[in-house]
Amino acid sequence: MSQDIILAEGRDAERVRKHLASCNSFEEVRALGVLFHGSCEDIEGNLHGGGYDGVFWTADRPSVAQAYIPKSGSTTWLHEPREDEREDYLKPSKHIGFVMRWALDRAGVTMEDLDVTWNGLQAWSWTIPSNWPTEGDFDDMIRGLGYGPDFRGCYTVSTRYTDEGETIMPAEWTLPGQLVIALPQEDFTFKAAMWSEDGLGYASHNRVADFNSFSQGGQHGFSMEDCLQSEFHGNVGHEAFGILPEGIKRLSWLSIPAVRHDGPDMDVFAKPETPAFVAFMKELNPSYRTENEIAMSTEKDNRLYAVMSDSRQPHDKSILARMAPARSKETGFWTDRDPEAVWLMKRDDAEDVLSNIHWNNPRMVRAEKAIKIIETQRDALLNLQVKQPFEVGQPEDATPELG
Which tens digits make up the pLDDT trace of 283-319?
999 999 999 999 888 877 778 888 877 655 544 455 5
Question: What average pLDDT is seen over the chain?
Answer: 85
pTM of the model: 0.72
Interior angle at CA 45, CA 41 and CA 46, nearest 5: 95
Q: What pLDDT is recorded for position 322?
A: 54
Q: What pLDDT is recorded for position 308?
A: 78
Name the residue type at position 80: E
Contact by Cβ (8 Å): 377, 319: no
Give percent of the chain with pLDDT exceeding 90: 63
The CA distance from 271 to 277, in Å, is: 12
pLDDT higher for 73 or 70?
A: 70
Any idea where the domains of the chain sit in the sequence? 13-69+175-294, 74-168, 303-382
Q: What tens digit of pLDDT does each residue of 312-340 get?
A: 554 445 555 555 444 433 334 444 455 44
- Comparing 156-165, 170-179, 336-345, 359-368, the range with the smallest average pLDDT is 336-345
Average pLDDT over residues 227-239: 95
Give percent of the chain with pLDDT exceeding 70: 83
pLDDT higher for 319 or 193?
A: 193
Q: Is the pLDDT of residue 28 over 80?
A: yes
Alpha-carbon distances, residue 392 vs 11, 198, 338, 399 (angstroms): 95, 95, 29, 20
Backbone angles phi, psi at 222, to 5 degrees: -145, 160
Stated as kind and residue range, the H or E segment containing 240 is strand 234-243
The CA distance from 358 to 55, in Å, is: 69
Q: Is the pLDDT of residue 361 over 70?
A: yes
